Amino acid sequence: MKNINNKFLDDEEKDLAKSIANDEWQSIGNLDQMKRLLQEAARTTMTKDQRMNIRLTKKDLDGIKTRALAEGMPYQTLVSSIIHKYISGQLTEKEA
């Protein structure tokens, strides 16, 4: 295997490059089958199959629609994104 220029790599990338150079990786036996399996798992994971109804003030809904328009997406998508970010810990409260 050819040497990789480590000049611009971080520590994790350097470790990975070293393990590749040392032939510590093995090919997957049936790549096409594994690829289909992982694609199906990704599709299933991301399928939106549940509904939720909530009541909002007109002012809040108008604000959401305005922000969604500015972001170039449907307001339902924006709300779904906000909820997903919140439950995954990517959205946190801002200190005043």
Range of the domain at 39: 10-46
Residue-wise burial string across 12-38, b where 16 or more C-beta atoms lie within 10 A, e elsewhere: eeeeebeeeeeeeeeeeeeeeeeeeee
Asked if residue 52 is part of any domain, the answer here is no
Give the CA distances from residue 53 to residues 34, 56, 68, 76, 79, in Å, rounded to whole numbers and listed in that order: 38, 10, 18, 11, 12
Asked if residue 71 is part of any domain, the answer here is yes
Q: Give the span between the Cα atoms of 28 and 49, in whole angstroms.
A: 32
Instruction: Please indicate, yes or no, whether residues 66 and 39 belong to a single structural domain of this protein.
Output: no
CA nearest neighbour of 52 among 82, 73, 91: 82
What is the domain count for the chain?
2
Asked if residue 5 is part of any domain, the answer here is no
pTM across the whole model: 0.52
pLDDT in tens, the chain (96 residues): 556 677 788 999 999 988 988 999 888 888 899 899 889 888 888 777 788 999 999 999 999 999 999 999 999 999 999 998 999 899 888 887
pLDDT at res. 61: 97
Asked if residue 17 is part of any domain, the answer here is yes
Task: Specify the amino acid at residue 29.
Answer: G
Instruction: Please indicate, yes or no, whether residues 41 and 62 belong to a single structural domain of this protein.
Output: no
Asked if residue 32 is part of any domain, the answer here is yes
Asked if residue 51 is part of any domain, the answer here is no
Instruction: Please indicate, yes or no, whether residues 65 and 40 belong to a single structural domain of this protein.
Output: no
Asked if residue 76 is part of any domain, the answer here is yes
